[in-house]
Every structure is written in structure tokens, then in C-alpha cells.
Amino acid sequence: MPPSRRGTKERRCPWCSQSFAKEDHLARHIRTHTKEKPFTCSVCGKTFSRQ
């Protein structure tokens, strides 16, 4: 990663203010607060927060 981009975190969690460089990482983190589990196993039906 170039030095100019190192440490750049532009997206903040509205619940705890933790910051993330990537939008998908923020979305994944937000599920820890909302307890959302949008991914379902096609074999057993169990739900997960991460794919």
C-alpha cells in the first residue's frame, strides 16, 4: 500500500465510531451491533452474519 493511502479510514460505525477503509468491512461490522444474520446455510438452514 502506498504511504499516502496507509491508515486512511473514511467510513465510521454510527454505533461505536470504529472506522474502516472499506464499505463492505463497515457493513460486516455493523451486523455485530444489529445481530443481523442474512446468510443461510443451504444444507442445515442455520443463519450466519458472514458468508
The C-alpha atoms of residue 33 and residue 48 are separated, in whole angstroms, by 14
pLDDT the model gives residue 2: 57
Please tell me the CATH code under which domain 11-48 is placed: 3.30.160.60
The pLDDT tens digits for 1-49 are 555 556 577 899 999 999 999 999 999 999 999 999 999 999 999 999 9
pLDDT the model gives residue 5: 58
Q: Where are the domains of the chain?
A: 11-48
- DSSP for 1-51 reads --TTTTT---EE-TTT--EESSHHHHHHHHHHHH----EE-TTT--EES--
Taking a C-beta distance cutoff of 8 angstroms, is the pair 15, 33 a contact? yes
Taking a C-beta distance cutoff of 8 angstroms, is the pair 16, 32 a contact? no
